[in-house]
Amino acid sequence: MSETVPLRDAIRALRVELLEAVEDASTQAVRFELGTIELEFQVVARREKEGKAKIGFHIFGAEASVGGTGGRGDERTQTVKLVLNPVLLGTDGGRSKLDIGRRRAGK
């Protein structure tokens, strides 16, 4: 199953991008309060039949296709929509909304 990305890696990358945007916003006068994030992916759920039974979800890349992996398994392609409500968790356990800004040119 080439050209796929594990779903957890896509969410992890989104989290990193959001944290970097929050950091960039800390010095900006104009900020945007981050609201609900909706993501929609074409994913394949694959159950491996070799060794342990395991199910994983992978996002299709531009050149991905199902099948031809050589191992025995069962694959199903689905469209998955995730609705995320990001919050910033403080050291005291409190939650707050994120503020996102745009980095100025040359900064």
User: 48 to each of 7, 31, 43, 81, 87, how far by Cα in Å?
Assistant: 17, 46, 16, 24, 35
pLDDT value of residue 68: 44
Q: Please determine, for residue 69, whether its predicted confidence score (pLDDT) is greater than 60.
A: no
Q: Tell whether 106 is covered by a domain.
A: no
Q: Tell whether 10 is covered by a domain.
A: yes
Q: Tell whether 107 is covered by a domain.
A: no
pLDDT averaged over the chain?
A: 75
Of 94 and 64, the structure prediction assigns the larger pLDDT to 94
Q: Tell whether 37 is covered by a domain.
A: yes
Q: Tell whether 26 is covered by a domain.
A: yes
pLDDT value of residue 1: 47
Domain span at residue 51?
4-100
Query: What integer is the mean pLDDT of 11-22?
Result: 90
Query: What are 20-68's pLDDT values in tens digits?
Result: 988 888 888 888 888 899 988 888 776 666 666 566 777 776 444 444 4
Best CA proximity match to 76, nearest among 50, 47, 51: 47
The whole-model pTM stands at 0.64
Q: Tell whether 105 is covered by a domain.
A: no
pLDDT value of residue 16: 92
For 20, list phi and psi in degrees, rounded to 5. -65, -40
pLDDT value of residue 62: 47
Name residue, tokens 């398994």: 73
Tell me how many domains the chain contains. 1
